[in-house]
């Protein structure tokens, strides 16, 4: 089975690229973030045409998450328990988290498909050091970590996929000196990310990629051609999920060309020889 995560930075603007990506890499399950589309405007027909069930959650033109699957889609959950909201008077629980159970059956050729509990997550950005949005980000991550340990201990393999808006290691940015006084690399953010690892989750992509493998390049200042990127998109799996992983890669090609998102998809392969033989 092949699963992927991608912050598409506006799904309707990039639906053709998403469709081509699903076909090219033979993806079974895709977690999407920053879809930027209300539910009543979501292009579900395109996924129907491609043979994917789709679950989505979008409240306005910002944020938004979705999960597309051609191997089953069950137990869809919008938001995690006690998910913090954003706002002063009446905090709104934004469209940043969507969970579903995928797989668990067999293909037409009799090959077993692993059953996985997957969350598509779009962690708040934090905006600036000292900004209220940074406190929101930290509370969001710590609340998530508070549930992740229980989820990871359950029988069904678990993976949290998406844009975490944290670069946990200095090598996850092109030049740590360039981030002096900026978000994404501060000790509180890294501590909050580390709480997920302390809850028992493992970065299943890093062992299969090079040290300078990035997933995000800002549109400004020619960051992409200069290879000035960040690794902020992750797949964090429970031990039982990590045992299923046979490979992973970042599709840097999707950051190229007209109409590209500023993020590249991250792909994870599960299973034995089946995953290794699919191009």
Residues involved in catalysis: 122, 163, 263
**How far is residue 162's CA from residue 168's CA, in Å, rounded to a whole number?**
14
263 is in an annotated binding site: yes
180 is in an annotated binding site: no
User: Would you list the DSSP string of 114-136?
Assistant: --EEEEEEE-----STTSHHHHH
**How far is residue 162's CA from residue 149's CA, in Å, rounded to a whole number?**
18
7 is in an annotated binding site: yes
Six token digits for residue 152: 């990871």
The DSSP symbol for 65 reads E
Partners of residue 55 on adjacent β-strands:
67
88 is in an annotated binding site: no
| Strands of the 53-57 sheet, one edge to the other | 53-57, 65-69, 29-33, 2-7, 266-270, 245-250
Would you list which residues are annotated within the binding site for Mg(2+)? 7, 34, 163, 165, 262-263
From the annotation, which residues make up the binding site?
A: 7, 34, 163, 165, 262-263
């Amino acid at each position: 089975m092949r699963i992927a995560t991608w912050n598409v930075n506006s799904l309707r603007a990039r639906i053709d690229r998403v469709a081509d990506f699903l076909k090219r890499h033979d993806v079974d399950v895709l977690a999407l973030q920053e879809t930027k589309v209300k539910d009543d405007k979501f292009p579900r027909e395109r996924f129907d045409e491609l043979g994917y069930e789709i679950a989505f959650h979008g409240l306005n033109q910002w944020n938004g998450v979705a999960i597309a699957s051609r191997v089953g889609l069950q137990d869809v959950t919008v938001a995690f328990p006690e998910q913090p909201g954003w706002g002063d008077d009446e905090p709104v629980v934004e469209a940043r988290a969507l969970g579903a159970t995928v797989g668990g059956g067999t293909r037409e050729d009799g090959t077993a498909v692993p059953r996985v509990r997957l969350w598509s997550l779009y962690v708040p950005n934090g905006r600036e050091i000292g900004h209220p949005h940074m406190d929101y980000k930290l509370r969001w991550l710590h609340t998530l970590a508070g549930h992740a340990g229980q989820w990871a201990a359950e029988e069904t393999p678990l993976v949290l996929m998406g844009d975490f808006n944290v670069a946990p290691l200095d090598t996850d940015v092109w030049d740590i000196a360039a981030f002096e006084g900026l978000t994404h690399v501060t000790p509180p953010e890294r501590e909050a990310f580390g709480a997920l690892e302390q809850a028992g989750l493992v970065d299943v992509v890093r062992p299969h990629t090079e040290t300078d493998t990035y997933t995000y390049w800002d549109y400004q200042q020619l960051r992409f051609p200069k290879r000035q990127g960040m690794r902020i998109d992750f797949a964090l799996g429970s031990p039982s999920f990590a045992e299923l992983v046979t490979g992973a890669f970042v599709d840097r090609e999707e950051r190229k060309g007209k109409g590209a998102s500023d993020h590249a998809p991250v792909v994870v392969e599960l299973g034995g020889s089946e995953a290794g033989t699919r191009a």
